[in-house]
Structure 1
Amino acid sequence: MSKIVHIIDDDPVVCNSIRLLLEIEGIEAKTYFSAADFLSAIGPHDCGCVVTDVRLPGMSGVDLLALIAARGLNFPVIVITGQADVPLAVHAMKQGAVDFLEKPFGDAVLVASVRKALQRNFTAPGKDAAPHEVRARLATLTSRERDVLEGLVVGKSNKSIANELGISFRTVEIYRANLMKKTQASSLPELVRMAISVQDRLS
């Protein structure tokens, strides 16, 4: 069974550039301009992974995630988002997306995310840190660091978090760097994923 990446974006330039990048890496890819086009083209036994913009005409990337889950389809989903759409991307992760990539992202970042999603699809889900390890890391956070983390988890920008907490933008950046170091997260999506996995312990 071939490992196919299904790319969904209403911009043909974006679709084709991602497809060409993946094909250069030896990864088969197909493109669609809407979630409806994708859903009408695939069958119940198809597999691979999906790379989709969070904002699409008609059905959104988040709505697509819900339908994939409802139909029992075997497609890990990577969500692409602009900075203004980070809250939507965080919501998508809560709905089951395996990663989100904030524009602009590098080619290597996208390829690495796709390879991880395909591996997750064809074997077992990737081993993230165990819940008890995540809780132990979160336990090392200061009260203010936890405040910043809670803002990031719901998709707030550094500027919004700074305004709400009454601190400077630069101070938020320092807290955010501390969060990455203490939790051992390599990216914002990974940090959000870790926090969501034990969200009942954040408060």
Structure 2
Amino acid sequence: MSDTPVIHIVDDDRAAREGLGFLLSSLGLTIACHASAADLLAALGDQAVGCILADVRMPTMTGLELLDELGRRDCPLPVIMITGHGDVPMAVRAMRAGAMDFFEKPVNGMALVERINEALRLSNERAQSLNERAQLTRQIESLTAREAEVARAVLAGRQNKQIAHDLGISLKTVENHRHNVMDKMQASSAADLVRRLVAAGWQAD
């Protein structure tokens, strides 16, 4: 998975995509140009950070259809639509469907760059959140069945003696399991453990 932010430009108009690509690359941004939505989808892979600049009107798959497909794929990259004057209503629909913003042609380069920088910040935040969630999932999966029971009991606010009584095991065994849970979850305290479990989607009974 690449950590280098990539600006994906999707436009069937070669002159338009190359002109925009030249502008952005001259500012030190990493860009990738695609002549169609299908080309973009084939190239994306597991790209973690970046954003997508997509023309609204494209043959075969429009910008709106691309946006829908990216949603089905849970693509984390923010999408900015590029539109001709007559396509503004379509671009508005795209924003309602999840696009971050839209720009009319001819595009105001500096305004677009500012919005791209915002999109990259958002993308980094999303990527960090996804990485943290994935790490939490791996940590939880490393728990044994009994450790998971103890973790859920801690999340519910039960003390060790109560957990031992409820599970029919000794207090010492509960303490050992709890220590293992704290270690595997890299939690510094009971409160930190609860925060991590909640962040992973667990809910108290």
Correspondence for 2:25: 23
Q: Once the 2 structures are TM-superposed, how far is the Cα of residue 19 of structure 1 from its aligned partner? A: 0.9
Gap runs ≥5 in structure 2? 128-205
TM-score by structure 1 length?
Answer: 0.59
Give the one of 86, 95, 98 matched to 1:96: 98
CA distance in 2, matches of 1:123, 1:42: 19
CA distance in 1, matches of 2:48, 2:13: 24
Q: Once the 2 structures are TM-superposed, how far is the Cα of residue 105 of structure 1 from its aligned partner? A: 2.5
Q: Once the 2 structures are TM-superposed, how far is the Cα of residue 9 of structure 1 from its aligned partner? A: 0.3
Q: Once the 2 structures are TM-superposed, how far is the Cα of residue 107 of structure 1 from its aligned partner? A: 1.2
**AA matched with 1:51:** L
CA distance in 1, matches of 2:126, 2:32: 24
Correspondence for 1:7: 9
**AA matched with 1:61:** G
Moved beyond 4 Å, runs of 4+: none
TM-score by structure 2 length?
Answer: 0.58
Secondary structure of the 2:80 match is strand
Q: Once the 2 structures are TM-superposed, how far is the Cα of residue 56 of structure 1 from its aligned partner? A: 0.8
Give the one of 31, 40, 43 matched to 1:41: 43
CA distance in 2, matches of 1:52, 1:110: 13
Correspondence for 2:110: 108
Q: How does 1:92-171 map to 2 (within 5 A)?
A: 92-123=94-125
Correspondence for 2:190: none
**AA matched with 2:83:** T
CA distance in 2, matches of 1:69, 1:51: 15
Q: Once the 2 structures are TM-superposed, how far is the Cα of residue 46 of structure 1 from its aligned partner? A: 3.8
Does the Cα contact within 8 Å between 2:51 and 2:78 map onto a contact in 1?
yes
Count of matched residue pairs = 125
Does the Cα contact within 8 Å between 2:83 and 2:103 map onto a contact in 1?
yes
**AA matched with 2:93:** H
Does the Cα contact within 8 Å between 1:47 and 1:73 map onto a contact in 2?
no
**AA matched with 2:39:** D
Q: Which entry has the higher C-alpha Rg, 1 or 2?
A: 2
CA distance in 1, matches of 2:47, 2:107: 31
Q: Once the 2 structures are TM-superposed, how far is the Cα of residue 45 of structure 1 from its aligned partner? A: 4.3
Distance 1:5 1:45, change over 3 A: closer
CA RMSD of aligned residues (A): 1.5
Does the Cα contact within 8 Å between 1:83 and 1:102 map onto a contact in 2?
yes
Q: Which stretch shifts more, 97-106 or 24-33? A: 97-106
String of CA shifts for 1:75-121, please: whole Å, max 9, x gaps. 10000011100010000001100000012222101111111111111
